[in-house]
Amino acid sequence: MALTSAQTEAALRALDGFAIELPSWGFANTGTRFGKFIQAAAATTTEEKIADAGQVHAFTGCCPTVAMHVLWDFPEGKAAIPSVKAAAARHGVGIGAINPNVFQDQCYKHGSLGNPDPEVRKTALSHILDSVEIMNATGSRDLTLWFADGTSYPGSGSVRARKQWFTEGLKTTHAALSGNQRMLVEYKPFEPAFYATDIADWGMSYVLSKACGPRAKVLVDTGHHYQAQNIEQIVAWLLDEDMLGGFHFNDRRYADDDLTLGSIDPYQVFRIFHEICYFTWERGKAPDIAYMVDQSHNLKNKIEEMIQTAMNAQELFVKAALVDHAKLAAHQAKGELVDGEECLRAAFFSDVRPALAEWRKSRGLAPDPLAAFRESGYLSRIEKERAEKNRAAVSSYA
């Protein structure tokens, strides 16, 4: 269904206000617990990750920042800050969310902030506070916190004690923040802990965040839910509580599959965006939400996949912005079930691609970012430049 002139104007306004952050780790070689499949063009350094992210932003115009993982992107710690900032400036992007890593080192075998050993808790907290210092130096606003903590067998840890240790550590982190900085607390129902993950759902994240203070919010990873869980309902509740801080976007068939946003269930992503747009219409002001990608692709080319994700995100956000909220509210008030649903379906099935092309042209971008990237020659160039380093990586993973 073609858009009216009024809908086109609404679509353009929505695009002007929408940005999505890319993950640095999504451009490097990654894999599953079963193995890694190396790509010749994969980034092998922080500079290369930032350069690739810069390409995605250059062709889509909607990915101005890059989320960084401290251990992977600041291998020398705080000493690496000047070089990372310089790389971001060279490639036309900013430093986005800072992600501490308290799950990789051997000392975290039994957890980080929830570890029964106070020395390990101290080590984890020290790393998180170092990450806050990196935020200060890079101008980053958000500290995104995901923990692998939990227990895999009944009786192997005190659930209440671990909750209390997490509360203490997160409160200390909250106290270290300043200015407009926030901490976003992520949750995940299982893996690697299979009996009792310490922050297993949005309610646990909510309780911990509330205990910390106003800078703490919940981070929703769209892959971190059980099958058939109503994510948009969670989003609506968090919006109403002013506790939704951001998203890690991906798509899934089961849980945390890291698939391209909208590749499995675009209607779900649309429904999530709809709850945000509906809330904005009711309150007259958009909520302060960090839209971030959390995907690591082993089969698709990494840059092309990120361009695909950005394009899907723009398209689905615009569709959600086209819902006639006044009409929807009237149908809901009268209990007109079919008509209310048709308000969503009409927006979802609208063809917003001409509006997207118009928006891109107005900003000097190609109407088809993926095709333009492929024609640029960047991919063939970096494949040649990085092939030898990535071939060496194959032997190291063997």
Range 72-97 average pLDDT: 96
DSSP string, 243-312: -EEEEEE-B-SSSS--BPTTSS-HHHHHHHHHHHHHHHHHHTS----EEEE----SSS-HHHHHHHHHHH
Give the span between the Cα atoms of 15 and 111, in whole angstroms: 41
Residue 52 has pLDDT above 50, yes or no: yes
Average pLDDT of 239-263?
A: 94
Summarised one tens digit per residue, pLDDT across range 141-189 is 999 999 999 999 999 999 999 999 999 999 999 999 999 999 999 999 9
Enter the pTM of the model. Answer: 0.96
Q: What is the dihedral of CA 66, 68, 72, 75, to 10 degrees?
A: 110
User: Over 80: is that where the pLDDT of 34 sits?
Assistant: no
Structure tokens at 311: 């394009």
pLDDT tens track for 268-303? 999 999 999 999 999 999 999 999 999 998 899 999
Residue ranges of domains in the chain, CATH in brackets: 5-397 (3.20.20.150)
367: which DSSP letter? Answer: S
How buried is residue 85: exposed, middle or buried, by Cβ count under 10 Å (0-12/13-18/19+)? middle
Helices and strands: H and E segment counts in the chain: 15, 12
Mean pLDDT is lowest, of 100-104, 297-301, 305-309, for 297-301
- pLDDT > 60? residue 397: no
Per residue in 357-386, pLDDT (tens digit) is 999 999 999 999 999 999 999 999 999 999
**pLDDT at residue number 394:** 67
Residue 336's pLDDT band (cuts 50, 70, 90): very high
CA distance 229 to 362: 39
Nearest to 189 by CA among 211, 208, 205: 205
Q: What's the pLDDT at 368?
A: 98
Q: What is the pLDDT of residue 1?
A: 66
What is the percent of the chain where pLDDT is above 70? 98
User: How many alpha carbons lie under 13 Å from residue 85 in its C-beta half-sphere?
Assistant: 12
CA distances from 324 to 127, 321, 346 (A): 47, 8, 9
**In this structure, are strands 196-197 and 31-32 parallel, antiparallel, or unpaired?**
unpaired
Evaluate if residue 393 carries a pLDDT over 80: no
* Cβ pair 134, 70 in contact under 8 A: yes
